[in-house]
Amino acid sequence: MTANANVGTLRETGGIADETTTGIAGGLTISQLVYDGGASRAEVNGATAEALAARAERVAQGNALALEAARAWIDTWQFDARLRLLRSRTDEMNRLIAQIERMASNGMIDRGALESARHQVIDIALEQTRLEADLNEARVRYARFFNRPLGQPARPSDLASSPEVRTAAKSWQQSPQLHRAAAELIVAQTGVERATAAFRPRARFQAGVTSPMEQEESTDLSVGLVLEYTFGDGGRRRSELDSARARHAAAEAQLADAQRALKAEIDASLDQLDAIERSMPLVARQITLSASEAKTARSQIATGQTNLRQLIEAEIENYRAQDRHIAMQAERQILLLTICDLSLCAYRHADPKLCPSIRYGRGNAAPTRAPS
């Protein structure tokens, strides 16, 4: 519905006498679109798809941010735990070497073996610098996401069990990344529909009333069907249609590629999770065996049944196993979160039990409200 009004003076010349009319003229037109080749429907569908794509992008960005925050916390915990383990075991081996030095001074142990043992302990101590750098970097990321420094980090609780994550991974096609790519494909499809509609006629029902400026003249009424069609535009419509079809083909390829990439990433993450979960019991067994071996070697060093190199190697093997076990725990948690982020578990339509909030362990200096 449109209305117009003209206020002013109308001067007519060229006749027997010039005539000037002053007044107000107005008009009212009511128009109803009957047919436009699907352009209006395409506009509505395209706008809806853009809104869905924006919503999916928001969810994906939120999930990515939450995953990075969780990584910062997990990394802070693991590097702190590994650094404390290294310092503890290094101090313990240094005390052992000090005892062995006294034995070497009495001629009970060859000094060549003692120097070799010192070299092995120094190699372990050199890792401290790298772990300290990794811990400082993780602390910076933690402070960025949680807006406060971290004291003694507690081990974060598992956010979802392995069976829950594996169940959620089966719904990977409900991922927000794929929702976004699918919505963008719909946007491209509506672009093709709009460009195609430009080649079709438009029809609308129209009724209007127009009042004259001169009181002596009558009011005009009009009712009818208006048809419009463009016969030529210099190739503009054809160019726009070709461009829209190219964008649609690109969006189709992007969706297919996103599906393949996401499926491959989830499968790879599940394979890594399987490998870690199979390896963790073996590493735990290795810790027990190496600790027993080191204890036995320590008791036999004085009798000569075990040499110094064997003792130090047993201690280092035990340290390596414990360090590996901590790193595997952290990697397992990150994999569980990554699979959740990639699959239905990370989407807002998922079962809330599969997408719990980040839980803070007792004694951890963290905000009282956990991010979802």
| HEC profile of the chain | CEEEEEEEEEEECCCCCCEEEEEEEEEEEEEEEEECCCHHHHHHHHHHHHHHHHHHHHHHHHHHHHHHHHHHHHHHHHHHHHHHHHHHHHHHHHHHHHHHHHHHHCCCCCHHHHHHHHHHHHHHHCHHHHHHHHHHHHHHHHHHHHCCCCCCCCCCCCCCCHHHHHHHHCCHHHCHHHHHHHHHHHHHHHHHHHHHHCCCCEEEEEEEEECCCCCCCCCEEEEEEEEECCCCCCCHHHHHHHHHHHHHHHHHHHHHHHHHHHHHHHHHHHHHHHHHHHHHHHHHHHHHHHHHHHHHHHHHCCCCCCCHHHHHHHHHHHHHHHHHHHHHHHHHHHHHHHHHHHCHHHCCCCCHHHCCCCCCCCCCCCCCCCCC
Query: What's the confidence (pLDDT) of residue 219?
Result: 85
The tens-digit pLDDT sequence of the chain (372 residues) is 999 998 887 777 766 667 777 778 889 999 999 999 999 999 999 999 999 999 999 988 988 898 999 999 999 999 999 999 998 888 888 777 777 777 667 665 566 666 767 777 777 778 888 999 999 999 999 988 888 777 777 887 777 788 888 888 888 888 888 999 999 999 999 999 999 999 999 999 999 998 887 777 788 899 999 999 999 889 999 999 999 999 999 999 999 999 999 999 999 999 999 999 999 999 999 999 988 888 887 777 666 666 667 777 888 889 999 999 999 999 999 999 988 888 764 434 334 333 333 333 333 333 333 333
- Full-model pTM: 0.72
| HEC profile of 280-348 | HHHHHHHHHHHHHHHHHHHHHCCCCCCCHHHHHHHHHHHHHHHHHHHHHHHHHHHHHHHHHHHCHHHCC
Query: What's the confidence (pLDDT) of residue 103?
Result: 66
Classify strands 220-228 and 2-12 as parallel, antiparallel or unpaired. Answer: unpaired
Query: What's the confidence (pLDDT) of residue 242?
Result: 95
Token pair 């196993």 is found at 321
Query: What's the confidence (pLDDT) of residue 354?
Result: 34
- Reading the block at residue 135, the tokens are 């811990």
Query: What whole-number distance in Å separates Cα of residue 301 and Cα of residue 297?
Result: 6
Of the candidates 339, 337, 372, 338, the residue with the CA atom closest to the CA atom of residue 356: 372
Query: What whole-number distance in Å separates Cα of residue 145 and Cα of residue 141?
Result: 6
Query: What's the confidence (pLDDT) of residue 362?
Result: 31
Query: What's the confidence (pLDDT) of residue 113?
Result: 61
Query: What whole-number distance in Å separates Cα of residue 175 and Cα of residue 341?
Result: 8
Q: Are 243 and 73 in contact (CB under 8 A)?
A: no
Query: What's the confidence (pLDDT) of residue 351?
Result: 40
Query: What whole-number distance in Å separates Cα of residue 179 and Cα of residue 60?
Result: 10
Q: Are 138 and 71 in contact (CB under 8 A)?
A: no
Query: What's the confidence (pLDDT) of residue 350?
Result: 38
For the chain, what is the radius of gyration of the CA atoms?
A: 38
Query: What's the confidence (pLDDT) of residue 315?
Result: 84
- CB-facing half-sphere around the CA of 106: CA atoms within 13 A: 6
